[in-house]
Each structure stands twice: as structure tokens, then as C-alpha cells.
Amino acid sequence: MKKVWLSLLVLWGFLNACQSVAGEMSDDELNNIVLRSYQYVAMYNSINNVAMQDRNPFGTHGWNKVFVPAGLQNHEVTAVPRPNNDTLYLTSTLDLRDDAIVIRFPAFDSKYVSLETSAYDHFVEMPLSTTKGDFRKATTLLFYSDRTKNYHGEPVRGVDRILKMNGDFAVAFLRIAPHSTDKVRMERILAQMKTQQLMTLSDFQGTAARPVTPVEFPAFSNDQSVFKNNFLEVMQFVFNHTSFDPDFEMDQKVLSAFKPLGVEPGKAFDTTKVVHIDGERLATVAAKVLAESLSIWNDPKGNPYLAGLFVPKKNMALKPMVLQSAVGPLGMPADQAQYPGIGTVDGQPILASGHYLVRMTKDQLPPARAFWSVTVYDSKHGLFIPNEFYKYSVGENGGVKLNAQGGVDIHIAPTRPDGVVAENWLPSGGGDTQLDLIMRIYAPDVGIMKTWHAPKAVKLELQGVVKE
């Protein structure tokens, strides 16, 4: 009995010491925790919002299901930050625990299509793209993870490629240029999207279906909510469903950072066995990281990390990972797309109440081999600005009118200024909301991009407006 009490006293002392350490964590220590975990928090929310958020009009509403859009996204999309309005998304959410998943991707009549995959760790892969000659014919891919039961990477008849994912819960989605100015072609592309097929490996091989193991997910919402309310519970769940490379520094450093907190792969979450962290304080640090990331992204001098964003795991570094996770998860590597922010000439924020001009001459247009766009978001939430015109971007699919010299003037204002064509106006909503302008350049000329610079916005006096 004495030994039992002694053991309990030792445990009590250890837990109190941990609580004390947590309570005394410096801002630098909390900052390191946030930096090491932002990719997992962002992707836990992003993937789960697509798979399980009922109010997400572009969600799959379940795992191992596909969302096929009827058109481009609009301001009703609130489940993911900085959504896209210039490509169509064909999205599949994958639960790879009990069986491998097979997807048959059709051929597409589009000048730009790419397949992007990722799990909770936010390391991005681009297995297929029209820039590599793909999607001219149908292609069948098989997906699995280290923990997939009864499948370990062996060849499967009828499967063109096998992809091992870094986690059990993953997303695989296509970005497809819709050619929305050509209505017949867009309808043809939408019809092609409906022919994609997702099935378990058992279904693909015509064998008996495997039972699905029940799973209980910790609450998900937005990044700040997780950092504040259930951070360690989420991280324990993520660790249990993620593969970590013993030779990859970022993987080992995040494991080292969380081990003293009581979070390790393979453990069950237990509030009595993890170190308490002040959620309010942690969320404050996370908000600061987000603000710093947005500042870097929208730096008028250019984003120094653009070439290092959304690259394969072996090439990824911590700073660009934090940047891509905080500002906008699930982007593409520099050879597929680049996302420069557009700041102002004077360095001041872009406000919804003002009138701003972004001007590009013909020689200053983005070097896109496919197409480009400029999209406006509110800075706080990263969402489209609601408006009755469903207008969120300027570009090939959002509408754009070049001038007689081949350049373009883009106006951001609460109402359309007099003399400005509707295609080149971005409704800002008005009020004191701070805005972000993000450019997307698809299939960029990487060589030219090394010296090309994004334009800057100039604030103008509010002018007369066009009556719609």
C-alpha cells in the first residue's frame, strides 16, 4: 500500500510540475508551439470542414465521398479561408484506415487541370497536371496510408498509379479551368466532372466490403477556435493519424515540442496526463502569427517565400509552411500556380470604404501560360465579400476587359465607379473592413516570374457611381 501511495505522490508531483511549467511558458516557447503546429491545426479544420461541415455548400458530407460542383464558388462558402472563384473544384475526402481508396479521374476538355493531395500535415503533392501532359485520357489512382488495413502498396491490376498518403484522413481534389466565357465548353467540362468515380479497393476488386471502424473527432471550426479551446486534444488526434519521417527535421521537431506536453503518437488523449496550456494566451500568439504571415504575403516589396510554398515534403521549410497554413491552406507549388499579394503604394491597408486602382500595362500582365486572376477577401476571415452581383475576382473566369493597349485597370470600391466596366470592378462592401487582394497565376512562366513583380494598388478619391 505504501508503494502505491508513493507512486501516486510521484505522479501528482510530476503533473503539478508540468502544470507549473505550462503556466510559466514564455511567449517564445508558446510561439514555437504555434509555429510547429499551425500546419496541423489549419488542415485539421480545412479537411474536416469539407468532409463533415453540414453548412458547407461545397462539402462532401461524409468520408470517401465526392463533391461535384454545379458552378463556381460564391460568398456562401464560409468553411474554408480564401476560397477560389476562378477554377472549379472536384473534391474527394478520404478515410484510408480500413481500406485503400481508388479514384478514376476522367479526361477533361480544359486547358488547365491539376490534382492536389494532402493530409493533416499539409505537405502537398501534385500527382497529375495538364502541365505534365495528364488528363488527356482517364487515369486510375489508388490511395493508402501506413495504417491502411490489409493493403501495403502492392500493384493492383487496373490501377495506373499508387499514392501513399502521410495520413489516414486526406483530401484529393481537382482544380479545373471552367472556360466560363464559353458556356458550351463549360457545360461539357461540368458533365465530364460527373463521371469521376470513387470506390474502396474492395469494391474495385469485387470483394466483400470491409467494416468501417467508428471514430470520434475532436471539435473543429476555425484555427483560432482550436488554439483557444481544444488544441492538445486535436494535436493528439492528428498525431495518431499522421506518419512522421524519422529523417525529416520538421517532423522530429514537432514531436519533440509536444512530447513534454504529454502528446505523442499512439496515445489516447487524457486531460489528466497532458500539460495545461492557457488557450487565451495561445490563441493570442496564433493571431499574431497570422497577422505577421499576412503582412509577409502582402509585402509591397514581394513575398520572399513564394518559390518555397506548397513544395513536396522533402523540400519544405518551416517558415513557408507556416505562411501557407496561416494565410491559405492547399495552394499549389510555384511551377503550377503562384499567389502574390497586392499591397498599396503607400503601404497602408486596403479598406472596404475606399476606392483603389490596380493598373497593369500589357507588359506588366502576369506571365501566365494558363490564366490569371485577382480576388478580394476580407482580411479577418479570408472570405469573399458578399454582393448581389456574385463578383469576387477579375480575370478570365471572373470577367476582365483589356484596354486598347492590352493592359487593364482593376477598381476596388463599394459601388462601381462611373466609367468602369463591370468586369473590371471588385465590390468591396463598404465600411471599415480591411481587405486583402490576392493574385493567382496559373501555369506561370517560372523564369519570367523571377523578375516580375505584382502591381500595387493606388487609393483614389471616391467618384460618381454607376446605377446598376
Which of 205, 236, 256 finishes a domain? 205
> Is 281 inside a domain boundary?
no
Mark 273-284 as b/e (b = at least 16 C-beta within 10 Å): ebbbbebeebbb
The whole-number pLDDT of residue 467 equals 44
CB contact at 8 A, 101 and 174:
no
Which of 205, 220, 250 finishes a domain? 205
> Is 385 inside a domain boundary?
yes
Domain count of the chain? Answer: 2
* Locus of grid cell 490501377: 159
The whole-number pLDDT of residue 333 equals 87
> Is 246 inside a domain boundary?
no
102 - beta bridge partners? 142, 199
CB contact at 8 A, 355 and 461:
yes
Q: How far apart are CA 467 and CA 422, in angstroms?
A: 11
Domain CATH number, residue 132? 2.60.40
The whole-number pLDDT of residue 21 equals 45
The whole-number pLDDT of residue 12 equals 45
> Is 291 inside a domain boundary?
no
Which of 147, 176, 205 finishes a domain? 205
Q: Would the pTM of this model clear 0.85, i.e. be above it? A: no
The whole-number pLDDT of residue 73 equals 83
Structural domain that includes position 369? 340-468
Residues of the chain with pLDDT under 70: 1-23, 79-80, 300, 462-468
What does the DSSP assignment read for 146-214? TT-TT--S---TT-SEEEE-SBSEEEEEEEE---TTSHHHHHHHHHHHTT-EEEEHHHHHT-PPPPPPP
The whole-number pLDDT of residue 204 equals 98
Single out the residue of 179, 74, 58, 88 nearest to residue 390, CA to CA: 74
Domain CATH number, residue 413? 2.60.120.600
